[in-house]
Amino acid sequence: MKIFKILFLLALSLPLFTNAQTKATVTIQNNSALDRKETVVSIKWATVLSSYSNIDTLNFVVINANTKKQVPYQLEHHGNFAIQNLLVQIDIKAKSSLNLFIQKGKPETFTVKTYARYVPERLDDFAWENDKIAFRAYGKALEKTEGDAYGFDVWVKRTNKLVLNERYKRNDYHLDHGDGLDYYHVGYTLGAGNMAPFVKDTIRYSGNYHQWKVLDNGPLRSTFQLTFDAWNAGGIKIKAVKTISIDAGSQLNRIENVYSFDGNNPLEVVVGIIRREKPGVIALNEQQGILGYWEPTFDNDGTTAVGSILTTPVNSMWISKEQILAKTTIKANEPIVYYSGAAWDKAGKITNAKQWFDYLNNFQQQINHQLIVNIK
């Protein structure tokens, strides 16, 4: 009789235990006054496991509670063996919330929207892109050659497809074959929003990157590290590691730099954007840390927009003959985060200076008003 009662109690409790372990509900709250479109949201994997401990990482889906459709997602490792975060891409209205269900199922094949890779066949380039824009940094093999450059390069796009491999294979990326081109000039400047030490009122450029490491590679976020060997920055020996992430749907990269040098004194650095000879439209907002530039139009190639957003206090902003600059300070071995990127008017989404500056202002507000994520 006792055995029967025990089995009966177990039978009653088992369904409750099973339900608790086969589903998790994620609530995303947008308390800001801005709609978020194509936004990649990061959910800590440890939090997912706390509500859904027996999740099968190869057989689960994320469902939008309103549309009942699958939501694109990515398991982010950030260079680790263990999963760090669950990334999802969503749209969410201002002053609203969205529920997502994480449950067992066969995930759809999601479109890969970000990509990054080392390009040994083109003098050690490192190139990366998403469904909006593309960039590259210059490597060791290009140093001290006629084509050397210090800053970030922009490859404009008017397609949501990934184009880097095709363009490198074609080896003709300075002409528009229908999806965009590389007509951005960097030279001996910071290009499209690179950062460098500013010592004794002079920009102290490093050499090009010498080591690289891909931490994650799509479909929603690609992250990589570029390591720069020590250089003499006005009498200060400095090393740098730059960790760059690009999200699907974004015009801007997240850039986290760590500078290593001796001493406890803060070091001044600048973020810069190359300035063209012909007039463009420049917007400087020291209080919000925003550099915005709508370049002059280059004949049939159109207009490139470039912008940077600093998340640390800005000491000053100014326009030199060659660059638009924002100065801030760093400490040794402490990460500094900022955002930098570009857009192209021929992509048809951002077609004038006001739209670009509005985009940068809205992006800055999104940084300061993060979405709130809860899971149960």
**pLDDT tens track for 127-178:** 999 999 999 999 999 998 988 999 999 999 999 999 999 999 999 999 999 9
pLDDT of residue 9: 40
Architecture in CATH of 23-110 = Sandwich (2.60)
55, 49 Cβ separation under 8 angstroms: yes
Confidence of residue 21 (pLDDT cuts 50, 70, 90): low
Q: Calculate the alpha carbon distances from 293 to 85, 279, 285, 362 in Å.
A: 34, 11, 12, 16
Please say whether the dihedral angle defined by the alpha carbons of residues 50, 51, 52 and 57, taken in this order, is positive or negative: negative
Quote the percentage of the chain above a pLDDT of 70: 94
Nearest to 150 by CA among 166, 162, 138: 138
Give pLDDT, residue 146. Answer: 87
Does the pLDDT of residue 6 top 60, yes or no?
no
CATH of 114-368, one of 2.70.98, 2.60.40, 1.10.150, 1.20.81: 2.70.98
How is residue 162 written in tokens? 């990934």
- Smallest CA-to-CA distance from 340 within 268, 284, 376, 291 is with 291
In the chain, ranges of CATH 2.60.40.1180 domains: 23-110
Rounded (5°) CA angle 327-333-338:
40
Map residue 67 onto helix, strand or coil.
coil
- Whether the per-residue pLDDT at 198 is higher than 60: the answer is yes
Q: What is the pTM of this model?
A: 0.93
Lowest mean pLDDT, pick from 1-10, 36-45, 221-230: 1-10
Per-residue pLDDT, averaged over 349-373, amounts to 98
Cα torsion through 63, 69, 72, 74, rounded to 10: 30
- Amino acid 144: pLDDT: 87
Q: According to the model, what pLDDT value does residue 17 have?
A: 41
DSSP calls for 312-367: S---EEEE-SSEEEEEEEE-TT--EEEEEEEEEGGGSS--SHHHHHHHHHHHHHHH
* Per-residue pLDDT reduced to its tens digit, 35-84: 999 999 999 999 999 999 999 999 999 999 999 999 999 999 999 999 99
Looking at the chain, which residues constitute the CATH 2.70.98 domain(s)? Answer: 114-368
Residues 366 and 360: their CA atoms lie apart, in Å, by 10
Is the distance from CB of 269 to CB of 329 less than 8 angstroms? yes
Q: What is the mean pLDDT of residues 256-277?
A: 97
**CA atoms lying within 13 Å on the CB side of residue 12:** 6
Q: What integer best gives the mean pLDDT of the chain?
A: 94
